[in-house]
């Protein structure tokens, strides 16, 4: 292969970066009703993807033999039958990018990729996985270079050749690479990392040494105010468009991996099917909780076809190995309550049977894969104890997780009234780990939990006469989050739209009254609510949260309720307002909180006790 000099900045790169601005939030225009639920339909990932990824077990030391051994284990162990069907190839599979732009596979690791005509192709391996009734996943980067090139400098399996040959990321090659991956190689899932946008700036030592071309960082870790969110989203948007030209029916999964940076958790649902909400997980209890927390407050951003992703499961590794079965059960329970992708990360060929049994627990997997697609919400938090509830598709059915995050035994008691079932009489409770029924403690569910224990329960009762919006987050889309009108980065820890709390995380307190249920939003926001059942009325208390009174200076907010694009009610007030709106026959409800005045800071509002009555 002749030496290749670095390519100059191509016109396509400039156009990609310019087009990125088209993905920015719509601002005031986004407050106009559409009469639609605007999250793209994605029936092919109606439930979170499940499978295996080699990175946590092998990093770049993955081979075709290891992948096929794990694939066989998935089939023989029953894990594939339980739903774990995606078999991914992560970083390390590539050798170089040729002068014609085609990526060459490292055949020393993937011998079946060597074709008789001198080309290389992953199609033979993909075909073998498909023949096992499994699906094939692949890895790339949204920039020019991959994460291993930034962080695994001593790996023997890094791309080789000139600077240009080692640019194996998708930047400047999106259409060509997507035709190769999804067309010629017929993959089913693509994980798209983002080190290429963060780790190859002009100040990096390897860039200064001439090993890589400089790319001014579009993402700065832990500094959202210094990241160019619009350009990052735009690059993922153009990549998704390139995939769609190859797979017009959208029979694929696009997994966005920006580790929670560039506000991806706010926009990922517009461009992909899953998006990382955190830094990489490690096999410790503290890391698992940190990653869980990164997604736990973002229930309104997930639902069928689009999922918060706190990273892979560490079951079988470190503090989740066979000596830590309590922790392994808790790990899977929490991911199931999040409706997170269930991607195993250990070497399954060495996994003990007791851990296989944990991973394939059909009752727990069913919570993750429930067709309603609701992510759990936190009902109670007291020190190290936490109670989560997840509304299931079966009327009157709720998954409940009682969590002890701490190092000592802890008691937890959940009043049945907080589940908002139709009646407390006749309620049943089943433990999904012991598969035994549990008795109620009067009008509550009460347990003493061991350190690091999570009890996962299936609670069944009568369906409630009213459906609270916080309990049906998959039916709510944050169509406009208010950040564009704000014109500044939100303070750390804020979530633009949040169930049962203000965007800041504070309680929903309106006019001096605290509300347990509701949705906290920023002003100049619009929520779309999909009504999958016939309802007669929408009721709520709408108002500026007490914590924002100083910033709002008590100016009036316009609260508008639309049904299928038509204005049903508008109230403009500086004080809280009571809403009681007929919605018979409505399919899409839209809730707009509009404020044209300039505020001293972020103004947060609440749609408190927002509910639909039959």
For the chain, the structural domain boundaries read 1-18+48-276, 377-464, 467-613
Sign, CA dihedral 458-464-467-470, equals: negative
Domain at 467-613, CATH from 3.30.499.10, 2.60.120.1060, 3.50.50.60, 3.40.470.10: 2.60.120.1060
Bridge-partner residues for 514, per DSSP? 509
* Beta-strand pair 557-563/397-404: unpaired
Question: Which candidate, 573, 574, 575, 559, places its Cα nearest to that of 610?
Answer: 559
Structure tokens belonging to residue 340? 């997170």
Let me know if 280 is a catalytic residue: yes
pLDDT at site 232: 98
**Strand segments (E) across 501-556:** 508-510, 513-515, 518-522, 525-530, 537-544
- How much is the pLDDT for 63? 96
**CATH of segment(s) 377-464:** 2.60.40.1180
> Is-contact 524 534, C-beta < 8 A?
no
**The token pair that represents 565 in the structure block:** 């694009």
Count the Cβ atoms, other than its own, within 10 Å of residue 41.
10
Q: At what angle do helices 285-296 and 325-337 cross, to 10 degrees?
A: 10
Residue 481 among the catalytic residues: no
Q: Is there a contact between 233 and 23 (Cβ–Cβ < 8 Å)?
A: yes
- Give the torsion sign (CA, 440, 442, 445, 448): negative
Distance in angstroms between the alpha carbons of the first and the last residue of the chain: 70
pLDDT of residue 45: 86
State which H helix or E strand residue 566 sits in.
strand 566-573
- Provide the token pair at 412: 């937890």
Looking at residue 37, its pLDDT comes to 94
Please name the residues in contact with 230: beta carbons below 8 A apart, sequence gap of 6 or more.
20, 21, 23, 24
Tens of pLDDT, residues 565-613: 999 999 999 999 999 999 999 999 999 999 877 766 789 999 999 999 9
The pair phi, psi for residue 222, each rounded to 5°, is 70, 10
Chain centroid to CA 83: 19
- Catalytic-labelled residue, pool 91, 177, 188, 193: 193
Residue 347: count of CB within 10 angstroms of its CB: 18
Q: Would you list the DSSP string of 353-410?
A: HHHHHHHT-HHHHHHHT-TT-PPPEEEEEETTEEEEEEE-SSTTEEEEEEEE-SSS-E
Single out the catalytic residue among 152, 280, 293, 564: 280
Residue 416: CB atoms within 10 Å: 19
* Sign of the torsion angle spanned by Cα atoms 340, 346, 351, 352: negative
For residues 255 and 273, the answer to whether their CB atoms sit within 8 Å is yes
Q: What is the CA radius of gyration of the chain?
A: 25
Sign of the C-alpha dihedral computed for residues 154, 158, 162 and 164 taken in this order: negative
| Cβ neighbours around 40 below 10 Å, total | 14
Which candidate, 50, 14, 33, 73, places its Cα nearest to that of 355? Answer: 73
Three-class secondary structure of residue 16 per DSSP: helix
| Separation between Cα atoms, residue 502 and residue 547, nearest integer Å | 9
Non-local CB neighbours of 76 within 8 Å, separated by 6+ positions:
none
- The residue ranges of the chain whose pLDDT is under 50 are 1-12, 19-26
Selection from 213, 214, 262, 207 nearest residue 236 by Cα: 262
C-alpha 397/C-alpha 577 separation (Å) is: 32
Instruction: Assign domain 1-18+48-276 to its CATH superfamily.
Output: Aldolase class I (3.20.20.70)
Contacts by 356-359 with C-beta closer than 8 Å and gap 24+? Answer: 356/77, 356/78, 356/79, 358/315, 358/325, 358/328, 358/329, 358/332, 359/79, 359/82, 359/84, 359/313, 359/315, 359/332
């Amino acid at each position: 292969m002749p030496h290749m000099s670095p390519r100059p900045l191509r016109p396509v790169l400039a156009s990609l970066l310019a087009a990125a601005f088209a993905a920015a939030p719509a601002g005031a225009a986004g407050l106009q009703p559409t009469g639609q639920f605007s999250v793209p339909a994605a029936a092919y990932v109606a439930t979170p993807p499940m499978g295996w990824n080699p990175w946590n077990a092998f990093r770049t030391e993955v081979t075709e033999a290891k992948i096929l051994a794990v694939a066989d284990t998935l089939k023989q162990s029953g894990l594939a039958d339980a739903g774990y069907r995606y078999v991914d190839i992560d970083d390390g599979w590539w050798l170089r990018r040729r002068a014609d732009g085609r990526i060459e596979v490292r055949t020393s690791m993937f011998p079946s990729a060597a074709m008789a005509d001198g080309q290389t192709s992953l199609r033979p391996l993909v075909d073998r996985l498909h023949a096992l009734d499994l699906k094939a996943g692949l890895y790339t980067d949204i920039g020019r270079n991959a994460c291993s090139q930034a962080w695994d400098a001593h790996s023997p399996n890094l791309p080789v050749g000139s600077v240009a040959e080692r640019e194996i990321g998708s930047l400047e090659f999106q259409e060509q690479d997507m035709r190769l991956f999804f067309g010629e190689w017929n993959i089913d899932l693509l994980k798209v990392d983002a080190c290429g946008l963060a780790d190859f700036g002009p100040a990096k030592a390897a860039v200064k040494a001439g090993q890589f071309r400089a790319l001014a960082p579009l993402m700065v870790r832990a500094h959202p105010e210094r990241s160019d969110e619009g350009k990052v989203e735009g690059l993922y948007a153009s990549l998704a468009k390139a995939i769609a030209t190859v797979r017009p029916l959208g029979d694929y999964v696009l997994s966005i991996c920006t580790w929670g940076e560039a506000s991806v958790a706010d926009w990922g649902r517009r461009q992909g099917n899953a998006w990382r909400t955190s830094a990489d997980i490690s096999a410790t209890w503290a890391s698992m909780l940190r990653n869980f927390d990164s997604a736990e407050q973002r229930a309104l951003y997930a639902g069928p076809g689009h999922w918060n992703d706190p990273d892979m499961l560490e079951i079988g590794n470190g503090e989740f190995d066979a000596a830590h079965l309590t922790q392994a059960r808790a790990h899977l329970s929490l991911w199931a309550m999040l409706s997170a992708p269930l991607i195993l990360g250990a070497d399954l060929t060495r996994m003990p049977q007791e851990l296989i049994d944990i991973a394939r627990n059909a009752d727990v997997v069913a919570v993750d894969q429930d067709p309603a697609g609701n992510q759990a919400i936190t009902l109670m938090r007291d020190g190290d104890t936490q109670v989560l509830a997840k509304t299931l598709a079966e009327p009157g059915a709720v998954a409940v997780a009682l969590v002890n995050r701490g190092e000592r035994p802890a008691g937890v008691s959940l009043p049945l009234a907080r589940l908002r079932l139709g009646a407390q009489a006749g309620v049943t409770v089943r433990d999904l780990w012991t598969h035994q029924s549990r008795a109620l403690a009067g009008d509550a569910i009460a347990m003493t939990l061991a350190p690091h224990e999570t009890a996962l329960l299936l609670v069944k009762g009568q369906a409630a006469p009213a459906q609270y919006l916080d309990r049906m987050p998959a039916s709510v889309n944050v169509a406009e989050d208010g950040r564009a009108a704000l014109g500044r980065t939100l303070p750390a820890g804020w979530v633009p739209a949040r169930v049962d709390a203000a965007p800041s995380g504070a309680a929903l307190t309106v006019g001096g009254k605290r509300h347990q249920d509701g949705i906290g939003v920023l002003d100049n926001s619009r929520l779309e609510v999909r009504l999958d059942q016939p309802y007669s009325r929408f009721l709520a208390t709408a108002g500026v949260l007490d914590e924002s009174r100083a910033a709002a200076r008590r100016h009036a907010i316009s609260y508008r309720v639309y049904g299928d694009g038509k204005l049903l009610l508008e109230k403009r007030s500086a004080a809280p307002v009571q809403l009681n709106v007929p919605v018979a026959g409505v399919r899409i409800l839209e809730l707009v909180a509009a404020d044209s005045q300039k505020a001293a800071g972020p103004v947060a509002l609440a749609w408190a006790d927002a509910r639909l009555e039959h």
